[in-house]
Structure 1
């Protein structure tokens, strides 16, 4: 049999202001862990292969002033 525990939600202060919101956030902060920082390294162009651009798409981009001029 599954043990289902019911927890009472934190009291919500619907009429509170910014101070109430900051208090709610401070209480919730320990429940959320920040992801580990992941930095990706640039990929050398020699490793990029197999990308094909249809001629119609290339012409469309060439005609756009942001890309072609």
Structure 2
């Protein structure tokens, strides 16, 4: 049988303010890796296909309100 040791999480400051939150984020920032920005590759028109929607789904979407209605 394996005895797994569980470590208690870091104490949480529930009464903290924005300054303490920003400090926590600043301390964590060096641990976050930022992926390199990759330029999107254009897609050839021959690879773009239409979308097929079943009639029941089309009726459902047609009955939904558009933005701002």
Q: If the length of structure 2 is used for normalisation, what is the TM-score? A: 0.52
- Larger RCO of the pair (alpha carbons < 8 Å, separation 6+): 1
Aligned residue in 2 for 1:33:
33
Larger helix proportion of the pair: 1
Q: Deviations over 1:7-38 (max 9, x none)?
A: 66544322110000000000111111111111
Give every structure 1 segment of 4 or more consecutive aligned residues whose post-TM-superposition deviation is greater than 2 Å.
Answer: 4-12, 51-57
Q: CA deviation at 1:52?
A: 5.6
- Equivalenced residue count is 55
- Label 1:7 to 1:55 Cα distance change in 2 as closer, same or farther (>3 A): closer
Q: CA deviation at 1:44?
A: 2.3
* Unpaired stretches in structure 1, ≥5 consecutive residues: 65-69
Q: CA deviation at 1:39?
A: 1.3
Superposed CA RMSD: 3.4
Tell me, in whole angstroms, the C-alpha distance in 2 between the residues paired with 1:43 and 1:7. Answer: 49
Q: If the length of structure 1 is used for normalisation, what is the TM-score? A: 0.52
Q: Tell me the SS of whatever aligns to 2:25.
A: helix
